[in-house]
Chain A
Amino acid sequence: MKLFDPSRFPIFLAIALLGILTVWLITRARRGESFFIRKIAGLEAVEEAVGRATEMGKPILYVPGIDDANNIQTIYSMIILGYVAKMVARYETPLIVPIAKAFVMPLAEETTRQAYLDAGHPDAYNRNNIRYLSDEQFAFAAGVNGIILRERPAANLYMGSFFAESLLLAETGFQTGAIQIAGTANIHQLPFFVVACDYTLIGEEFFAATAYLSREERLVGTLKAIDYVKIVIIVVLVAGTLLASVHVNFLHEFLNLE
């Protein structure tokens, strides 16, 4: 029984590199150091959409995905919900949040109430705008479509984990002419959001948006650590390609786990 399996060394190296960078950058962020994160075009679109909706006095719809609280995307969607709620608190525009899983209900209520409080308008918080519709995927989509068609929100925001129902929501919203912005890491649903929405946060951009908004040290630290590792990967890719072109494959041998 070998003590340490040598063929698995590159895996150990990758995990150790990312782990050390993450811890190092999080501690630096915790000591108050601020890091640069580029502008996320999707978030500017959110500000613009919320602004337009408040001018027209029409409601805003925020759908935090249909997955449960154990999906990291649902938890990150709460951060964006808090940001939007803080923006909306100053105006009378209603913020409607349909919910698909019972355990997400308290999270959404807590996030929105806290955001209204931080914005100095706790009284504007309306509890029955956070509505549990149904656990079943298509019943939930039908419920949200009902809200879109009846209450005609001016801005529809879809942030979180979506599945086959994304197409139904985006199409109905498109028909009512609302500004639509979506964000999800579920790659298979992005085509439908991209064609029907005005702007889409694609995969990692959705996670970067939460770091950009919250400036929370763990999120910012992780984002920067991943960026640094990406630089290493780009260097390895370029070096590997040049070497392979001259038939020198020591890099390929090193990384090849077969």
Chain B
Amino acid sequence: MNDPWIWIEAIMTLAILSYLYKDNPVYKAAEYLFVGIASGYYLSIYFQNVLVPNLFVPSWRGVHAAFGPGTPAPTDLIRLSSLMLAVFMFMRFSPKGAWLSRWPLGALVGAYAGLAVIGLAQGDLIPQIDSNLLPIITPGSWSTLAGAQGLAQGMAAFLGLFSNVVLIVGLLATLVYFFFSLEHRGFTGRTAKLGVYFLMISFGASYGFTVMARISLALDRLRFLFEDWLGIHISG
């Protein structure tokens, strides 16, 4: 309770919470301090964990190998050229040379495009289609229904009967909703409408989960204030 650092953390927490009552100078100061500390933190972590081990050290080795004694290994030369390309990014601020920063940007966008094409095809598209090729009757659902005791299990087993049908129909209906070459009229219109209903259920589920997420964030801060700052014992 008397550790000065706990008081600092409490002040930071209360400064932000004060915004709930009214926007005030203490909140504004905490907000600006937050942006400053975060930027300073990012600068240091990128310097320590990325630039030193992945840029300065290898380029020092590359320069040393290239111009120092002995024949430079090809990888060192390649590494030096890729480091040079990366340094062009810093030209972005100079009025004349800004176009030079587009070269590394182009390479970066190309890298992410190549990875996206592979990752999306192999990780999302094919497996998600493959895992929806389901038999209409959920295998084994009859036996679970027969063995279910009580209303709750009975209801769950009864719903289980239709799991595959709902998965198949739901996926097809929602895909039709995101189909743009046919007007939403007649059969397509009704299927698209069914697709919207599935979307709304999925948004409802996401709403529920997001509520849970936000509340646990506030709970963590309240725990700190009650337990660490005010000394009321709480957590298990």
Contact between chains at B135 and A244 (CB < 8 Å): yes
Knowing A37-B180, A191-B204 are in contact, say whether A241-B121 is a contact too (CB < 8 A). Answer: no
Contact between chains at B136 and A230 (CB < 8 Å): no
Of the listed stretches B42-50, B73-81, B168-176, chain A binds: B168-176
For the complex, is A90 an interface residue (Cβ under 8 Å from B)? Answer: no
Of the listed stretches B62-70, B125-133, B142-150, B228-236, chain A binds: B125-133
Contact between chains at A252 and B133 (CB < 8 Å): yes
Name the residue on A nearest B132 (C-beta): A237
| A182-221 to B contact mask, C-beta < 8 Å, 1/0 | 0000011011101100000011110010010000000000
Name the residue on A nearest B200 (C-beta): A194
Contact between chains at A136 and B31 (CB < 8 Å): yes
B227 to chain A, nearest CB (A): 26
Name the residue on B nearest A139 (C-beta): B31
For the complex, is A31 an interface residue (Cβ under 8 Å from B)? Answer: no
* Chain B residues whose CB sits within 8 angstroms of the CB of A192 once the complex forms: 207, 210
Name the residue on A nearest B176 (C-beta): A234
Name the residue on B nearest A195 (C-beta): B207
Contact between chains at A230 and B133 (CB < 8 Å): no
* Chain A residues whose CB sits within 8 angstroms of the CB of B182 once the complex forms: 38
Q: Choose among B23, B122, B200 the residue with the greatest number of A CB atoms under 10 Å from its CB.
A: B122
Measured CA separation A70–B113 after assembly (Å): 12
Contact between chains at B199 and A202 (CB < 8 Å): yes
A interface bracket (residues with beta carbon within 8 Å of B): 35 or more
Contact partner of B133 (CB less than 8 A), chosen from A138, A204, A243, is A243
Q: How many residues of B contact A (CB 8 A)?
A: 39
* Chain A residues whose CB sits within 8 angstroms of the CB of B125 once the complex forms: 14
A64 to chain B, nearest CB (A): 20
For the complex, is B162 an interface residue (Cβ under 8 Å from A)? Answer: no
For the complex, is A236 an interface residue (Cβ under 8 Å from B)? Answer: yes
Contact between chains at A15 and B121 (CB < 8 Å): yes
Contact partner of A227 (CB less than 8 A), chosen from B181, B183, B204, is B181
Measured CA separation A238–B34 after assembly (Å): 53
For the complex, is A10 an interface residue (Cβ under 8 Å from B)? Answer: yes
For the complex, is A4 an interface residue (Cβ under 8 Å from B)? Answer: no
For the complex, is A223 an interface residue (Cβ under 8 Å from B)? Answer: yes
DSSP class of B's interface residues: helix, strand, loop or mixed? helix
B220 to chain A, nearest CB (A): 16
Measured CA separation A11–B130 after assembly (Å): 12
* Chain B residues whose CB sits within 8 angstroms of the CB of A187 once the complex forms: 206
Contact between chains at A227 and B133 (CB < 8 Å): no
Measured CA separation A224–B132 after assembly (Å): 24
Measured CA separation A188–B181 after assembly (Å): 27
Knowing A10-B126, A11-B126, A256-B130 are in contact, say whether A204-B135 is a contact too (CB < 8 A). Answer: no
Knowing A38-B180, A135-B35 are in contact, say whether A257-B133 is a contact too (CB < 8 A). Answer: no
Contact between chains at B121 and A11 (CB < 8 Å): yes
For the complex, is B134 an interface residue (Cβ under 8 Å from A)? Answer: yes
If A136-B34, A237-B133 are given as contacts, then 18 extra A-B residue pairs at C-beta distance below 8 Å, sorted by A number, are: A8-B122, A11-B122, A14-B126, A36-B181, A70-B109, A139-B35, A190-B206, A191-B204, A191-B207, A194-B203, A208-B180, A211-B180, A230-B179, A234-B172, A234-B175, A237-B129, A252-B133, A255-B126
Contact partner of B203 (CB less than 8 A), chosen from A10, A36, A136, A191, is A191
Contact between chains at A11 and B181 (CB < 8 Å): no
Knowing A11-B122, A237-B168 are in contact, say whether A190-B203 is a contact too (CB < 8 A). Answer: yes
* Chain B, range 150-187, C-beta contacts under 8 Å to A: 168, 171-172, 175-176, 178-184
For the complex, is A240 an interface residue (Cβ under 8 Å from B)? Answer: yes
Name the residue on A nearest B192 (C-beta): A38
Contact between chains at B126 and A257 (CB < 8 Å): yes
